[in-house]
Structure formats: C-alpha cells, structure tokens
Amino acid sequence: MVLEKIMYLKRLDLQGFKTFAQKTVLQFELDAENRRGLTAVVGPNGSGKSNIADALRWVMGEQSLKLLRAKKSEDVIFSGSEKKSRAGFSEVSITLVNDDRQDLDFSEIVITRRLYRDGQSEYEVNKQSARLSDVVMLLAQCGIGQRTYSVIGQGMVDDVLSASPAERKDFFDEAAGLRPFQLKRHASVNKLEAARDNLRQSETLLREIGPRLVSLERQVKRLQQRETLEEDLKALEIQYYGGMWSSLRKSLSLSQTAYDKALARATQAAGEADKLESELRNMEKAIPPSQGFKELRESLNKLSEEKVRLREQQMRLESTREIAKVRAEKPWAPLPLSKIIGEIESLHKKQLDLLEMLEKPKSDAIKIMQLAREVHNQAADLLGKLQRPAPEPEKQNSEDPKLEAETAKILGAISEVEHKIQAAQIELDQWNKKEDQKRSHIFDVQRELSRRRQEAQMAERQMSEASVELARVETRREAFLQELRAQRPEQETNLDSLADKHQSGEAPEALLPRITKLRAQLEWIGGIDPETLKEYDQTKQRFDELNEQTTDLTQAIISLETIIKELDQTINERSAVSFRNLNQQFGLYFKRLFGGGSAELVEVFPEPEINEQGEVVESQDKNNARVGIDILATPPGKRLKAIALLSGGERALVSIALICAIMATNPSPFVVLDEVDAALDESNSNKFAEILNTLADRTQFVVVSHNRATMSRAHILYGVTMGVDGVSQLLSVKLHDILPAK
C-alpha cells in the first residue's frame, strides 16, 4: 500500500514568463476540510491562462519547446507589446510544502528556473544553485513526474492512447513511482560504464608501464654487474691488443720486403723499355716519310670530291627535266562515282517505265519506240564514258635544249674525272709496293719494343700491388692504434711488451666477439641515465598504485552490478504490483465514466528470437522483459476493443479514466490539468468533476477549464484577463468564503 505524503503545491511565482510580464503570484491552499482540494483557472481564450500550466512544466525542467508551445528558448520570455516593453529575463518559482520530511529533510522546497535573453539559464533549489539533473531527481523523490501526468496540457489527453506501447510503458513507470529507482539505476549504469572505462585505462597503463618496469629492473641489475664486466673486458683487451700488434709487426715486415723487391724489378724493366724506345726513334729518323704519298693521296681525294660535285649537278638537272615534263602533260580526271550512280538510276527508271508500257495491251507503239531509243542512247553514252581510257601523253619534243646541253656537258666531265681517278689509283698502288719493303724492318723493331713494354708494365704492376699491400698494412696499424687510444690509451707504450708476451696458440680475432659483447653490455649499462634508480622507484610506485586502483575498480564494478541487479528486481516487483492495481482501477473508472463496458491494460513482450534451426532462443535479459503496454477498451453495447476505433468523445473518456486510475493508484502531490475536459459533454463533465472531487483528498488539482461542473467543485478560483498592453493579470476568489453569503 502506498503511504500518503503530506506534500502539496503552496505557491507559484511568475515574472517575465510569456504573457505574465509583471510579477504574479498564485497561492494554493488546502480547502476547508484540510484536503488538498481543487484550484480552477478560468478566463477567455487568448488571455494566457494556459501559460500557467506551461510555467509549471517549464520550472520542473521541461526541455521540449514543442510541449512549451514555443519555437525557440527565448519565446518563454515576454516579448513586449505596443504599450509594454519586452522583458530581459523569465523567472518561475514553485514552493512545495513537505510537512512529513519522510524523503527530504526540508519543510519547504522552492525550485526556481531563470532564463536570460543571452541564453544563460539558471536553476535554484532553496536559493542554492543547482543542476537540471538535481531538479529532476528531487521531483522524482517527491513523486512528481516531469513529463507525464503531473502536468497534462491541451491535446495531451489523447497522447496516452495514440502513443506507442513503449511510450505508454515509460508513462506508467513514472506514474507508478519508479522514476527515482530508474534514475538511480541510470546513474549506477553510468558509474558502471565510467568504472569500466577507468579499469580499461588502468589496465592499459599497467600494460604500458609493465614492460618499462621490467626493463628498468634489468638495467638496475646490470648496473650492479659493471665492475665484473670491466675487469673481464680489460683482461681480454690486453690479450687482444698484444696479439694484434704482434700480427701487425709481422705483416708490416713482410709487406715492406715485398715492396722493395717489386720496386727493384720495376726500375730495371723501365730502363730496358727506355732503351728500346730510343732505338726505335733512331730507326724512324733513318727512314724519312715520302712526300709523294701525300701528294698522290691529296690528288685522289680532290678528284673524288669533283666527281661527287658533278653527280649532284647531274641529279639537279634530271629533276628539273622531270618537273618540266610533268607540267607539259594535260590533266585527266575519270568520271565520278556519284555521276555513274546517277546515270544508272536514271536508266533503271526509264526501263521500268518501258516495261509498264509494254505490259499495257493498248500502249502507243511510237512512244514505246521513242523511250527504247532514249534508253539505248543513254546507255551507249554512259558505256563510252566508262570505257574511255586515260589520255596518252603527247609525243612531242617538250624538253629544253639548254638543259640537254648542260646535261651532256656534265656527263662528259664525269667521264673525264673517272679516267683521272683510275690513273691516280694505279700510281698509288705502285708507290705502296715500294714503301712496304722499307717499312718491314721497322715493324720488326716495333714488335720487339712492344714486348719490352709489356715486361715493363708487368714489373710496374707488381710494384703497385706491393705498394698497395704495404699501405693496407700501415692503414690497419693506424686504425689499430686509434682503437687502442680510444679503448686502452695507457697500453700504447707497452705494445711491444704485450706482443712479446702474446701466445701464438689463440688467434686474437677469436677474442673479438667476446670483447664486442662485453663492450656492448658496458655501453648499455653506461648509457643508462644516472636517474635510473629514481625512475625505477617512481615507476614501481606508480605500478603498485595502478594495480591497487585496478583491484578497487574491479570491486566497485562488482558492487555496482549488484546494485543494478537489486534495482532491477525492485523496479520489476513494484512495476508488477502497480500494474495490477492500475489495471483494476482503470476498469473501475472506465465503467464509472461509461456506465458499463470493460477495459484493461495488456503487457507487451518482445517477440521470441528464432535461431537458424527454427528453435526459440531464450533471451539473455531477464530484467524489464516487458517492452510496452497496450490498451483494450470495449464501451457498453459494442464489441470493438481497439482504441483506434473509438470516437473522439470515447477516446477522451478512456484517457480520463486512465489518468484517474493512475492518480488513484499512485497519487502525485499535485496535478495540473489544462482543459482536459473540453471534449466532454455536460453529463460526462459532471462525472469527471465528481471523480476529481473524490481524489482531491490525496492529490492537489490545478485545473485550467471552462467547464461549470469543474469550477463548481473548486475551492479557489483564479480568473485570468489580458489588458490592451498584452499582459496577463489575475483575479482570485476563495469560494468557501463567499458561498455561505449566498
């Protein structure tokens, strides 16, 4: 059983809200029987009386501009008129009396909402700044719904019927007082998600810090191994450098000896080559070159050039003659194809005409003969044109005598030059035979000189190779000394002693991998920041803190999951009890308003899931399995049950019956009804007013209405008027003070 709360709406303050430009106060008091009672707000259309309901909805945190009958947020601020300037802000406050202090430790609660034209919005609870979420939670704890039946405006009576089953479920959940539990569950779910996010971040940080911590631990251990590694490295390096210096001394001695021998051979080979070169020069001077060969060769070259020049002139003259011949010929063009096709088409047409004339029994023979003759003549003419060959060039002497003379002259000159070339070639061949005998001895000497030069080049190459090898050994020695000075400079003066002590049993290169490894280890250790130990301590402390935080978050997640499970159980249990009571009260109020019939609420559950095998899959979500609520109503004398088939008046009565059932099941401290009885006739208006009067001992009603039956049961009556300045004003009457006077 739901315990009655001694809470009611005491006061409503408006300033700058819509048409209430001036500060306006509405007082709500208990009636003469100390019941919450009924307060009626009346006034002509357009006077602004519905703005009182909008103000109550707005101060309770409503964000929907559509429900507030506005297009933008600043529409709730008085926009001004011809005789009244606009307001700079809008402010609405409600005062709630909380005598029992059962849920809240306040005897009086004042909620204020304020909006400025620059868009700044403020909420206050008992003069203290608050957030919208704080206001919503406070109202939920008071049992006041923000978006459902606490404020029912114009046109919202039918919304419950036209709403979807899921929307009706939200409506009934809030009406059943489940809103505080749902808000707590929502907050717990948000905390759970935040805890899971923090846990993931902590685990991510642990995964990032873990490898670094392991690396730091290894570095700290290596720092402790430095002395041992340095001693081992020093012993190996002394052994290595002694062996390497011994090897370098031997290699340097061998390379120097090889270079000296190669230098001697190269010097000897170069001297022999110089002697052969001098002998060859003396032989060439003894046989001077013949001047006759040059003269014969130059003469032959000139004759060849003259022959080429004459041939070019001949070609130019022949080209000129050919061009003259082409220009002398007359042009000829064959009959075009289009002309041939046109002639054939004309012949074909005349042949068809001739056939038609022959097929007629009474044709004129003379006309037939004339047409046949035309066809014959046209065909013969076309045949002659097609058989006509290209005209032959006229055989006439069209060449220029001057060109012929020049051509003959050039041909004669070419013949003469060719005879001269032939004679010069014979003379040159005879001269070559004589000179070959003189050059034979020179060639023998040149071959000997070439052999001597090859021997000299081979000797120089051997000397070069020996020099390169010596340079290579010296380079190795310098590199070795540089490395020694970088690693062990104190041992440079002791190299000969170290080399003498070196045991030839182990090659020094075999020690290099071990030395390289030790150097790398020492370099790694030496590259560690001196602050490594401090970083290790800090990282270890951070790792331990994150590990502890991860444990705490894991416990918090388990605790939140338990809380959510308990809240789900509480919500389901209360929802089931509230639904049974609501369904019972709905049927009673339906019969009371309709004078019979039946009505019930039906829970809507999700469709079962079917797997690929056609089997029903059990849902994993055991909580809040109900996804909606459907409404079935059958007025007396009818069989229909779907509310969509009801008339407008019947739908209004069903909505009112449902609202009354909600208020009877889980009464709200106050309910605002904005002309919800407008669609009722006089008889149903009386029934509705009587129901409100019955429920007024548990719920305070603020009714905006034109209905006499409703006004007659109000103990406070507010009248709203609007003057020429466009500002709404109030007139109030306490009916229990004036009724005895009647």
Residue 621 lies inside a defined structural domain of this protein: no
Helix 648-665 to helix 532-594 angle (10° resolution) is: 120
Per-residue DSSP letter, 508 = G
Parallel, antiparallel or unpaired: strands 151-152 and 598-604: unpaired
**Region 177-200 average pLDDT:** 82
Residue 255 lies inside a defined structural domain of this protein: no
pLDDT confidence bin for 459, thresholds 50/70/90:
confident
Domain with 32, as residue range(s), is 1-150+669-685+695-742
Tell me the two tokens of residue 572. Answer: 């389901």
**Region 559-575 average pLDDT:** 84
**Region 435-446 average pLDDT:** 66
Phi-psi group of 101: left, alpha or beta (phi > 0 → left; psi -120 to 50 → alpha; rest → beta) = left
216 closest CA partner among 572, 542, 481? 542
Tell me the two tokens of residue 476. Answer: 């190795």
Across 82-91, 98-107, 338-347, which has the greatest mean pLDDT? 82-91
* Per-residue model confidence as pLDDT tens digits over 149-175: 678 766 666 666 777 777 777 777 766
The pLDDT value given to residue 741: 44
Residue 376 lies inside a defined structural domain of this protein: no
* Per-residue model confidence as pLDDT tens digits over 479-501: 888 888 888 888 888 888 888 77
The pLDDT value given to residue 120: 92
Contact 627, 165 (CB under 8 A): yes
Angle at 636 between CA 634 and CA 637, to 5 degrees: 105
* Per-residue model confidence as pLDDT tens digits over 198-223: 888 888 888 888 888 888 887 777 77
Determine the residue type at 605.
F
Give the residue carrying structure tokens 């002497």: 397
Residue 338 lies inside a defined structural domain of this protein: no
Across 72-76, 396-400, 609-613, which has the greatest mean pLDDT? 72-76
The pLDDT value given to residue 16: 92
- Assess whether pLDDT exceeds 90 at residue 256: no
Q: Which helix (H) or strand (E) holds 223?
A: helix 179-224
User: Phi and psi dihedrals of 397, rounded to 5?
Assistant: -80, 90
* Per-residue model confidence as pLDDT tens digits over 330-382: 444 455 677 778 778 888 788 787 777 777 766 666 777 777 777 777 777 77
- Assess whether pLDDT exceeds 80 at residue 644: no
Cβ count within 10 A of residue 422:
10
Residue 742 lies inside a defined structural domain of this protein: yes
The number of folded domains in the chain is 1
* Per-residue model confidence as pLDDT tens digits over 498-515: 887 776 556 787 888 888
The pLDDT value given to residue 622: 46
* Per-residue model confidence as pLDDT tens digits over 572-609: 877 788 788 888 888 888 888 888 888 888 888 777 66
User: How many Cα atoms are found within 13 Å in the side-chain-facing hemisphere of 570?
Assistant: 14
Share of the chain above pLDDT 70, in %: 77
pLDDT confidence bin for 12, thresholds 50/70/90:
very high
User: Phi and psi dihedrals of 448, rounded to 5?
Assistant: -65, -40
Contact 498, 241 (CB under 8 A): yes
Residue 174 lies inside a defined structural domain of this protein: no
Sign, CA torsion 128/131/132/136? negative
The pLDDT value given to residue 116: 94
For 628-668, the three-class secondary structure string (H helix, E strand, C coil) is EEEEEEECCCCCCCEHHHCCHHHHHHHHHHHHHHHHHHCCC
- Assess whether pLDDT exceeds 80 at residue 625: no
Report the CATH number that the domain containing residue 46 is assigned in CATH.
3.40.50.300
For 530-578, the three-class secondary structure string (H helix, E strand, C coil) is CCHHHHHHHHHHHHHHHHHHHHHHHHHHHHHHHHHHHHHHHHHHHHHHH
**Region 305-331 average pLDDT:** 63
Residues facing 132 on adjacent strands:
none
The pLDDT value given to residue 255: 82
Residue 290 lies inside a defined structural domain of this protein: no
